[in-house]
Structure 1
Amino acid sequence: MHDYVDTAVLGTEDRFAIGQPVPRSEDPVLLRGEGHYSDDFNLPGQAYAVIVRSPMAHGLIHKIETSVARAMPGVLAVYTAADLEKGGIGPLPARQVMNNRDGTPMLQPVRHALATDKVRYVGEAVAAVIAETVAQAKDAAEAAEVDIEALPAVTEPSAATAPGGPRLYDDVPENVGLDFHFGDSAAVAEAFARAAHVTRLELRSNRIVVNPIEPRAALAEYDPARRHFTLHVGCQGVFGFRNYIAGVLGVGRDEVRIMTDRVGGSFGMKQPNMSEYFCLLHAARELRRPVKWTDERSGSFVSDTHGREAQMTAELALDMEGNFLAVRLTGYGNVGATYGAPGPSTRNAVRNTLGVYKTPLIEVTTKCVFTNTTPVGAYRGAGRPEANYYMERLVDTAAREMGIDQVELRRRNHIPAEAMPYKAPNGTTYDSGEFTNLLNKAVALADWDGFAERKEESRARGKLRGRGISDYLELTGPPGREMGGIRFEPNGAVTIITGTLDYGQGHWSPFAQVLATRLGIPFQSIRLIQGDSDELIAGGGTGGSKSMIVSGNAIVGAADKVIEAGRQIAAHVLEAAVADIEFRAGRFVIAGTDRSVGLMELAARIHAGLELPPGLPGSLDVADIYDGPPSAFPNGCHIAEIEVDPETGIVDVVKYTF
């Protein structure tokens, strides 16, 4: 990672430097209700799309009758899977391919933007109606007749593999798309065999509807002269989105542009492998008109990818003193009727289950199964919260079963600070962590030892009082390439260009702090471009709590390139050797003299037509790609106390420490 310490910080007000609290400059426009979101995009002559969805969880499509719908007022077209196929729109592949335990790739049944011969979940897109108005498109969608023969459905992941049960795909035996395994089975089995105690739990993480405040929406346009598509859409990163869309359309990446402004939440859900976008792009090309679609809440509940849902048998082996010997997870992950993006989150279970504990061995076996339910995608941690939940439940239960204080059992098994950097058995190397110190601080702040007195006081009032404690560790900053670009504008502004995308996190202010600190330029002069794929040469998008790590370092890398280019140009302007030029406090200075030129002044002179000899950079505009990082390891300890009214069942959180 780049070292942020730089004398350039003297060139910007201290209150805007890295680490200083600054008001989020991106917020006022939102607080005034002036944010520009996906549904706010409109173009002259645009048509509107409504999606016809399956009312059944599983069934054979015998016929889609659209003649009545096509003849209704204002209707421009009704598209089915056959129409999209004729238009060259291919299947929608999984965005991440993983290997089964035998080394073979996971099974990828063919999935199209619109259902072909079969429907596999309630809400699956069957047809797209395009009309002059939304109301006309809705009326026509209701007139479309879809003849579906109902088939038995399976919704429980553990039941999906039962012999003789419903099968979603002919080429996917037992509905298992991925048979994932990590760990040394023999070594783990031996550890459990010699354990003095084994704790075993049946745990379930419930399915969740993502439900961002802004439903999905998009506006597609097509330029026949350039054979070029543009899609205005809310997403988490336009670079990868563009690449996926182009691949499914079967066109070059330079023939697709993705543009995103404000995004009203996503949490992992607003991904490119969604049916509606391809219907819009096809319609825009066929009709030579912009086509818009905005989902409604009832539609998003069944068409957006969901989150979570797994059934796990979690086991923890301990010796006589309560030291952890091994942890084992075995179970099912429900991926829904097809893979959501980015795909099964089994690796995060491997990476996060061990948490803050020095457990010598781990084994994870998960069958990711298809069911007749809405596809499951990434959602707020994508396997990380579940992993912490599994481990902390095991620790608490083991403490009760063995008669060991739950705080003491945690202390006994913490990875000690002096062991850092620590190589965990899941292959991850922790760079730092003071887990016992954090636990001790939380226990002191919560007055852990005074709980008995508070419990008695609650009892005197007819209430029950309980408490819970949880350590946690979440691996963040997944590896990936990210761009940081810097552009000096003619009006004196400085533009940051990034591949990550703010959908509520507040990227602009911290990114501006990084650049202002590194280059010593005015904080208020910095603007941010993050939602235009034409501006990017790389970009993994926002996800995994990585934006500040990857984009921040990419911005620093780009700033260093600005400094190097500026030294060369400043040497020419000041008639000095490049080796004698130093960069301090936003200025290029000839060492040992008072002669200098400011960075912003240099940029202005270049825009004014400064003649530069051959061999020198033609401008200060640069781009850098940051490739990494290994990961970061935020962690902590939470303690909650609650009161329960036994007569009404009302639960009150009366004390919370973190």
Structure 2
Amino acid sequence: MNAALDPSQIKFGIGQPVSRKEDPVLLRGEGRYSDDLSLPGQAHAVMVRSPFAHGTIRGIDTEAARAMPGVLAIVTGADLEAAGIGPMSLTVGQKNRDGSPPRLPRQPVLTTDKVRFVGDPVAMVVAETEKEARDAAEAVLLDVDPLPAVTEAREAVAPGAPLLHEAVPGNTVVDFHYGDAEAVAAAFARAAHVVRLPLRNSRVVVSPMEPRSAIGAYEDGRYVLRAGSQGVFGMRGGLAKVMGVEVEGVRMLTGNVGGSFGMKASVYPEYPALLHAARTLGRPVKWTDTRSESFLSDSHGRDHDTLGELALDAEGHFLAVRLTGFGNLGAYLSNATTLPSTMNTVKNVIGVYRTPLVEVSTRCVFTNTTPVGAYRGAGRPEGNYYMERLVDTAAREMGIDRVELRRRNHIQPDQIPYDAPSGMHYDSGDFPAILEEALAAADWDNFPARRAEARRRGRLRGIGIGHYLEVTAPPSKEMGGIRFDEDGGVTILTGTLDYGQGHASPFAQVLVDRLGIPFDRIRLMQGDSDLLIAGGGTGGSRSMMASGTALSTASAQVIERGRKLAAHALEASAEDIEFSAGRFTIAGTDRGIGLLELAAQLRTLPAPPGDLPATLDVSTTDQYEDSAFPNGCHVAEVEIDPETGETEVVSYVTVNDFGTLVNPMLVAGQAHGGIVQGIGQALTEHTAYDEDGQLLSGSYMDYGLPRAGHAPSLGFASHPVPARTNALGAKGCGEAGCAGALPSVMNAVVDALAERGIAHVDMPATPLKVWRLLHEGVAA
């Protein structure tokens, strides 16, 4: 449905590396993030959080705090329950292995019975200024009888372990199982070789550039929240449930968002408390998280403890893969909290390999730690990490070249469409070609010479492959609104939301391609729930597939309706009207009218022409057919200094199939960001709790975010095979960097350490851990 672009617009069409529309504003410091907002008469809130990881609440003494200067209110869980607010509304989509539903606790907005992790919110202080609120918050006395704490999922299910929620025996929310256990057991029994490898997918602190901030208000008889999110439509629905009102009773507004990676998709306890305080006080109430508080209050990512097993025949063909382990949920349910270690692992673990059978068993467990939610990939990097580590280990144990083992087990292009044992239906891809291109780009054949040269310098050098395939988010309804504005511009309305991805340019490129609208005349509106009729938000690498499909549908409607309107304006039959390059013409003539000119002309008419609409506004919802399967191959090369344990990524190349690249420059940027996040988890980021549940890595002094020096020059190449599941042929790219980075970097680290007889190391491969492995034979 390409609109045969005008030559002046070709550089802004699909496939062109167009700069982000929003960057000039953001680089000038003119962005409007949540903490930049202030409303007339606003008060300020500060949360009171538990310093204990576990304990019974005996009392919350607010008397002294209420008498302090500027204090307007102190909100507790009892106040919210009396007002009919809460509990927090979160569900789990997975069932227990016996088919029974999961065990779900009742979670008040502010806890009233027990504290369950350090940072658990128990009260909110509201005052005229933030300083006054903070001073008063420190004066609130929390009387707690401490209880034993547990921070590891495996320990939380042991007999006699501390119980977090009475409604959740054994701390197990869901005992998940997928696969044919008997068939898998039979495959392992007849296998010529079985690999067994304990694998830890380490916990990470999400650390977006912008900490959470929000303003709660009560305007015109309904609640209004201004806060960062990943989609205002879904957030509005979640807030309405907690507040006990219909969705029409809530308006959600989001401006610029400084990163999220899954973390800002949830309704957090602060938000209902702010809305309640705003309604009670009759004035807006603002809250902004400090960075140190965000380490405790924002959901963490990953934290899975898994035994991976791979069964192979004598020639090295995969027979079955089996994962058995635990997912640490933290103290409460969070956004998509069980999904990463259950169905998303199932969907992603076989990756690009013919693997007839898959079995995944996961116990999702509460512990006295910060709740764990979705984090960039949410099970996709985990599944790929498990398989790629198993493949490398199998190659080493069986004496088969690791590249050759992958080649033997590839799903071949002529086997696609491919029905995977995970229930996924691969629609497209060329996995062998991508592997070969990545090996060539990495100069794989000459690695032995580079290793020898490093050895002469006293360093250990390793090279690793991360050959990944991701399953993107499943189809959901998405809005594609096209509004022709009075100033001659065009506004796109969508339920997805840009929190750093750069949606404005690629969405505009779709309209340039489909409708021939000049790029600089197109705007994006995404952050007001009042203007949306649907929207699943941004997550699961779905935005271009979802919004692109909806915009394609809306564009077709614009052309169809516009053809009738143009026929009226040109005094011709609608059947004789053609559309190309943003212009309607009478077939066989040069008589025509531009789309934007037609929209402007309609606005001057006193009444619609006949029964035709007088505007070209279109609001539609559409969904793509199925998930897509972005895939690729990363090759990382590392050097380790045995004297310090320091690991450096010295070379990194990646070849990817992201289907149709609407904007190749933004795609490369998304890959780069995900890769560096993966390097951080693999080498530097370590979330540590002590035996009492205190977070030891509670600031950037103790938590190692990757820095510029950790990022090598990143080679990026594409081998696109368009998806068949959506109108654009796009496959998604936002989370793929992590999926390839974790296994490639860790495989490279183990490859380097193998010279010293070390066969495995868990993430993160920190200098201390590596040094102790090399010098003491233990992992710190």
The normalised TM-score by structure 2 is 0.82
Aligned-partner Cα distance in 2 for 1:526–1:641: 43
Aligned AA (1:576): A
Identify if the C-alpha distance between structure 1 residues 529 and 96 changes in structure 2 by more than 3 Å, giving closer, same or farther: farther
Letter in 1 for 2:497: L
The one-character-per-residue Cα deviations of 1:81-115 (angstroms, maximum 9, x if unpaired) are: 11011222021121543222222221110001100
Question: Residue 243 in 1 paired to residue 230 in 2?
Answer: no
Where structure 1 has 5 or more consecutive residues not aligned to the other structure, the ranges are none
Counterpart in the other structure of 2:329: 335
Counterparts of 1:33-52 in structure 2, within 5 Å, are 33-52=29-48
1:442 maps to a residue whose letter is: A
Mapped contact 1:477–1:549 kept (Cα < 8 A): no
Within 1, Cα distance between the matches of 2:172 and 2:143? 28
Q: 1:344 matched to which residue of 2?
A: 338
Question: Counterpart in 1 of 2:208?
Answer: 212
> Matched residue pairs, number?
652
Partner SS for 1:521: coil
CA distance in structure 2 between the partners assigned to 1:590 and 1:390 by the alignment: 60
| Match of residue 99 from structure 1 | 95
What is the match of residue 289 of structure 1? Answer: 283
Shift of residue 451 of structure 1? 2.1
2:717 alignment partner in structure 1: none
Equivalent residues of 2:104, 2:167 under 8 A apart: no
Alpha-carbon separation, structure 2, partners of 1:394 and 1:543? 28
Which of 632, 639, 653 is 1:657 aligned to? 653
Q: Residue 456 of structure 2: which of 429, 443, 460 is its match?
A: 460
Q: Is the 8 A contact 1:477 1:547 kept in 2?
A: no
Structure 1 segments (4+ residues) deviating >4 Å: none
Asked if 2 retains the 8 angstrom alpha-carbon contact of 1:94 and 1:343, the reply is: no
What corresponds to 1:648 in structure 2? 644
**Quick check: 1:299 aligned with 2:266?**
no
Note the 1:100-499 alignment, pairs <5 A: 100-223=96-219, 226-345=220-339, 346-499=342-495
> Which of the numbers 540, 546, 555 marks the counterpart of 1:544?
540
Structure-2 separation of matches of 1:61 and 1:395: 49
CA deviations on 1:420-474 (whole Å, 9 max, x unpaired) are 1111011101111211111112222222222222222222233222221221111
* Maintained 8 Å contact 1:483/1:554: yes
> In structure 2, what is the equivalent of residue 523 of structure 1?
519
Relative to structure 2, which stretch is displaced further, 475-484 or 191-200?
475-484
SS of residue in 1 equivalent to 2:155: coil
1:565 aligns to what?
561
Deviations along 1:30-60, one digit per CA (max 9) or x if unpaired, are: 1111111000111111000000001111110
Q: Where does residue 745 of structure 2 map in the other structure?
A: none
Deviations along 1:527-573, one digit per CA (max 9) or x if unpaired, are: 11000000100000001111111111111111111111111111222
Pairing partner for 1:69 from 41, 61, 65: 65
Amino acid at match of 1:291: V
Local SS of the residue matching 1:7: coil
Query: 2:179 & 2:636 partners in 1: Cα distance?
Result: 34
Deviations 1:558-614 (A, max 9, x none): 111111111111122222222222112211112222221211111101222353234
Q: Cα deviations across residues 93-149 of structure 1 (Å, max 9, x unaligned)? A: 215432222222211100011001111111010001000000110111111111100
Aligned residue identity for 1:619: T
Match of 1:198, SS state, is strand
* 1:12/1:516 contact within 8 Å kept: no
* Aligned counterpart, 2:508: 512
Match of 1:325, as an amino acid? L
Structure 2 residue identity aligned to 1:240:
G
**What's the TM-score, normalizing by structure 1?**
0.97
Q: CA deviation at 1:272?
A: 3.5
Secondary structure in 2 matching 1:472 = strand
The separation in 2 between residues aligned to 1:227 and 1:217, in whole angstroms, is 23
1:57-88 Cα offsets, whole Å, 9 max, x none, are 11100111111111111100001111011222
- Establish whether residue 78 from structure 1 lines up as the match of residue 79 from structure 2: no
Code of the aligned partner of 1:286: T
In the alignment, the residues of structure 2 paired with residue 648 and residue 312 of structure 1 have an alpha-carbon distance, to the nearest angstrom, of: 29
Work out whether residues 470 and 630 of structure 2, in 8 Å CA contact, stay in contact via their aligned partners in 1: yes
Identity of aligned residues (%): 62
Please give the alpha-carbon distance, in whole angstroms, between the structure 1 residues aligned to 2:138 and 2:114: 20
Q: State yes or no: 1:603 paired with 2:599.
A: yes
* Aligned residue type for 2:223: F
For 2:154, the aligned partner's letter is S
Q: Which moved more, 1:475-484 or 1:638-647?
A: 638-647
1-structure distance, mates of 2:8, 2:239: 42
Q: Which 5+ residue runs of structure 2 have no aligned equivalent?
A: 655-780
- Letter matched to residue 619 of structure 2: A
Deviation at 1:619, TM superposition (A): 1.4
Structure 2 counterpart of 1:276, which letter?
Answer: E
Give the partner amino acid of 2:168.
V
Higher alpha-carbon deviation: 19-28 or 540-549: 19-28
**Which secondary structure does the structure 1 equivalent of 2:263 belong to?**
coil
Aligned-partner SS, 1:307: coil
Which residue type is aligned with residue 289 of structure 1? R
* Conserved? CA contact 1:467–1:640, under 8 Å: yes
> Which residue does 2:528 correspond to in 1?
532
Q: Is the 8 A contact 1:240 1:540 kept in 2?
A: yes
